[in-house]
Amino acid sequence: MRTFLGVVVGYALFLLPPVALLRIDPEASVSPEFMVVATMYGMFFAFLGGLAARRIARRGDRRAGAIVAVLIAAGALGSLLTFPEGSSSAAAIVTLVLFAPMAFVGGGVRGRRPSHSQPGISPR
């Protein structure tokens, strides 16, 4: 149940902020600077989505972040297959190549563990 909740929250964290803050007309031309900033913004939220999914699921469970990455990639592939060539295909390729891997990386980040051994003494 925690893994499912982590995946839902992680995917929503990836999807909702960019949709809410970057609403633009897909047919409108945008500057290269805006595209770079929007790409970095999407990568950041994909990373946070994977990280949140893992934290909610369990600290040692990397599946939740990987599932978020797969969902992001599946959405991009679906977009590539259903939309005609144009601006949406470029966005789908960026999503597939950059955003999905960032969610996977975010889901693989380990938190700090407290040290149970004393310095200079190796565990048996």
Predicted confidence at residue 103, as pLDDT, reads: 94
Q: Which residues contact 97 (CB under 8 A, 6 or more apart)?
A: none
* pLDDT on residue 37: 85
DSSP characters for 43-54? HHHHHHHHHHHH
pLDDT tens, residue order, the chain (124 aa): 888 889 999 999 998 877 776 666 656 677 888 888 888 989 999 999 999 999 988 766 778 899 999 999 999 998 888 876 655 677 888 889 999 999 999 998 776 555 555 555 555 5
In sequence order, which residues have a C-beta less than 8 Å from that of residue 99 and are 6 or more positions away? 14, 42, 43, 46, 72, 76
pLDDT at 117: 52
pTM higher than 0.95: no
Copy the structure tokens of residue 6: 């982590």
What is residue 27's predicted lDDT score, i.e. its pLDDT? Answer: 61
Return the pLDDT at 35: 83
Query: According to the model, what pLDDT value does residue 58 have?
Result: 77
What pLDDT is attached to residue 79? Answer: 84
